[in-house]
Amino acid sequence: MSNIVVERNGAIEKLTINRPDKLNALNKATIQELGACVKAAEADSSVKVIIITGSGDKAFVAGADISEFYQFSKEEAKALAKGGQDQLFDVVENCKTPVIAAINGFALGGGLELAMSCHIRVASENARMGLPEVSLGVIPGYGGTQRLAQLAGKGKAMELIFTAGMINAGEALQVGLVNYVVSQEELLTKCNEIATKIVKNSSVAIASAISAVNAGYTDGVNGYEKEIEAFANCFGSEDFKEGTSAFLEKRKANFPGK
Ligand code: COA
């Protein structure tokens, strides 16, 4: 059985992590498969939005698969964290196609780190989020110490990491960790609603916006300069010609995505 279920609905591709018996815990194979699915969707110009969710109604992802790494040496641990970041977490964050996390339950450890790599997060009311790694004698290794501080602020990140605690969906909304909280029944509807709005816009411009926003969080890169460069590049696109012409001609734009 594949660890990822891929489903298409028009321009929206849904990737469902499919290890419900293990609360969708991320083992090595799942990390590789999900990373490959995201890359394939990014390379397919007909996919305009990717939604990542977990199977079942209990968990998005309950973390990295503890059974796989509990006997690792320091060197193996380094390779695990680096491999995961390279194969999945950085791939998601830098994906040119917007990625929405539909957090349908527990998002713990690597699960929350995956959700935080996504560009937009929507949680169901039953979701519980946290980085419990210090309760296992380790720290987050898939970008959690960085991205939680970026999203929720340094103080809240420190508290959540030190206490190994879980916050509920309402608290996550309050600290800016998720964009929306809806009932579990409405979760995918809400994600599709956001995706449908995105699909109407220029995918070239959206890809540029992703790279410009991310630049501000990248060491040694000046986000303002990246924005100027990305802004200017848009002027060479067919999407820009179509978008501006459509406005002046008082009609809806039909972006070619080039
Ligand atoms: N790695 C590996 N297996 C995991 C897992 C993980 N991160 N999270 C859950 N599972 C497995 C359990 O071992 C169990 O498998 P089993 O039925 O073969 O014994 C199955 O998923 C169901 O989990 P269980 O603990 O029985 O469910 P629960 O409802 O009692 O508790 C959680 C749910 C999420 C609170 C609990 O599973 C948990 O604390 N998981 C680990 C969270 C964590 O520390 N993540 C960070 C990892 S770095």
Residues 90-138 have pLDDT tens digits of 999 999 999 999 999 999 999 999 999 999 999 999 999 999 999 999 9
Q: Please, what is the average pLDDT of the chain?
A: 97
195 and 207 part of one domain: no
Which residue shows structure tokens 């109407």? 200
Same-domain pairing of 194 and 222? no
**In-domain check, residue 258:** no
For range 7-28, the mean pLDDT: 97
pLDDT value of position 1: 53
Same domain, 125 and 216: no
Q: Is the pLDDT of residue 61 over 80?
A: yes
Q: Are residues 108 and 61 in the same domain?
A: yes
Residue 120 lies in a domain: yes
Same domain, 180 and 207: no
- Are 195 and 229 in a shared domain? no
At residue 5, what are phi and psi to the nearest 5 degrees? Answer: -105, 125
Look at residue 194 and tell me whether its pLDDT is greater than 90.
yes
Number of domains in the chain: 2
Residue spans of beta strands (DSSP E) within 166-231: 166-168, 180-182
The answer to the question of residue 255 being in a domain is no
Element (H, E) at 110: helix 110-117
Catalytic residues: 113, 133
Query: Residues 100, 216: one domain?
Result: no
**CATH number where 166 lies:** 3.90.226.10
- State percent of the chain over pLDDT 90: 100
Pair 67, 44 in one domain: yes
Judged against a pLDDT cut of 60, whether residue 57 lies above it is answered with: yes
Among protein residues, the one with the nearest Cα to ligand 1's atom 40 is: 62
Q: Which residues of 131-140 are buried (b: 16+ CB within 10 A; e: fewer)?
A: bbbeeeebeb
* Range of the structural domain that residue 219 is part of: 203-248
The fraction of the chain above a pLDDT of 70, given in percent, is 100
Distance CA 181, CA 117 (A): 18
- Tell me how far the alpha carbon of residue 24 lies from the centroid of ligand 1, in angstroms: 9
Residues with a CB atom less than 6 Å from ligand 1: 22-23, 25, 62-67, 106, 108-110, 132-133, 136
